[in-house]
């Protein structure tokens, strides 16, 4: 498996000979045709200094559409502007929730739609970094965007899940041991189920951002993790 060019030294203890052999086996299993297509992006989380990580967004599978997966959970690689059309509802709801917190909106019924927020962004009445710069800015502040399945066959969601399961659980165990102070955002049953491998940490949980409704007590748009961490992370990226 191709490692990122700049693997941080905090990962040295993880990358044992056994793990490297496991990665070679995984690479044979996934073959040449996979997302992300850029091999440098598959394990890009290893570029992060684990001692500087403050918050982890724990995703699931990479996006199955060719060219969309970047190795950072929830990031839409084809998105250059928030005004650009895109289909990924989870990303839209993440922006809706961040807007809600920075606008101090308390009522669920008053949460703006993504289309309404786009108009505010266009008018300059709400400010947010452009998509890639936004992810970069959050990463620089100590946010890690982590999936639990790091590749898939194009057009086939979760197609490599079983290939990565053991490796992924060991990654989670290692991170939580290396930095037990990390705050984990666990969205959806899949992410919450991986809590079993996170031996130490601070957890904020909700339903997955894909589907939101006021009827759910633990609905994503009621998630308070962003609000509770605004003193350490500028979620606007500016």
Does residue 234 fall inside a structural domain? no
Does residue 51 fall inside a structural domain? yes
Residue 136 confidence (pLDDT): 98
Does residue 1 fall inside a structural domain? no
Residue 14 confidence (pLDDT): 98
pTM for the complete prediction? 0.96
CA dihedral defined by 70, 204, 171, 234, rounded to 10 degrees? 50
Does residue 116 fall inside a structural domain? yes
* Residue 186, φ and ψ in degrees, nearest 5: -110, 110
CA-to-CA dists, residue 101 to 110, 128, 176, 213, 236, angstroms:
12, 13, 28, 17, 11
Residue 2 confidence (pLDDT): 81
Does residue 107 fall inside a structural domain? yes
- CATH code, domain carrying 132: 3.40.470.10
- Residue 146 CA, chain-centre distance (Å), reads 5
DSSP the chain: -PPPTT--GGGTTT--HHHHHHHHHHHHHH-SS-BSSSHHHHTGGGGS-GGG--EEEE--SPP-STTT--SSTT--TT---TTS----HHHHHHHHHHHHHHTT---GGGPPPHHHHHHHHHHTSS----HHHHHHHHHHTTEEEE-SS--BBTTBTTTTHHHHHHHHHHHHHHHHHH-TT-EEEEESHHHHHGGGG--S-EEEEES-TTS--TT-TT-GGG--HHHHTTTT--TT--
Does residue 118 fall inside a structural domain? yes
List beta partners, residue 146: 58
Q: Domain limits at 121? A: 9-228
> What is the domain count for the chain?
1
Does residue 156 fall inside a structural domain? yes
Residue-level pLDDT, tens digit, the chain, 238 residues = 689 999 999 999 999 999 999 999 999 999 989 999 999 999 999 999 999 999 999 998 999 998 899 999 999 999 999 999 999 999 999 999 999 999 999 999 999 999 999 999 999 999 999 999 999 999 999 999 999 999 999 999 999 999 999 999 999 999 999 999 999 999 999 999 999 999 999 999 999 999 999 999 999 999 999 999 999 999 999 9
* Residue 97, φ and ψ in degrees, nearest 5: -70, -40
Does residue 236 fall inside a structural domain? no
């Amino acid at each position: 498996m191709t490692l990122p060019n700049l693997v941080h030294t905090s990962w040295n203890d993880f990358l044992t000979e056994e793990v490297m052999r496991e990665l070679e086996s995984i690479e044979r299993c996934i073959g040449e045709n996979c997302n992300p297509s850029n091999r440098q992006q598959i394990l890009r989380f290893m570029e992060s200094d684990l001692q500087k990580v403050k918050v982890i967004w724990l995703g699931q599978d990479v996006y199955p559409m060719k060219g969309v997966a970047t190795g950072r959970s929830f990031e839409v690689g084809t998105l250059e502007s928030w005004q650009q059309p895109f289909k990924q509802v989870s990303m839209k709801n993440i922006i809706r929730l961040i807007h809600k917190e920075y606008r101090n909106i308390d009522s669920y019924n008053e949460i703006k739609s993504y289309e309404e927020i786009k108009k505010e962004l266009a008018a300059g009445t709400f400010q947010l970094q452009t998509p890639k710069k936004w992810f970069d800015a959050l990463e620089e502040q100590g946010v890690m965007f982590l999936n639990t399945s790091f590749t898939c066959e194009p057009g086939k969601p979760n197609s490599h899940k079983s290939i990565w399961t053991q490796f992924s659980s060991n990654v989670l165990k290692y991170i939580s041991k290396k930095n037990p102070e990390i705050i984990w955002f666990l969205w959806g049953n899949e992410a919450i189920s991986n809590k079993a491998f996170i031996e130490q940490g601070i957890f904020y949980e909700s339903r997955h951002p894909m589907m939101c409704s006021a009827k759910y007590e633990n609905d994503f748009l009621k998630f308070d993790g962003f609000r509770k961490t605004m003193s350490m992370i500028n979620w606007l990226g500016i």
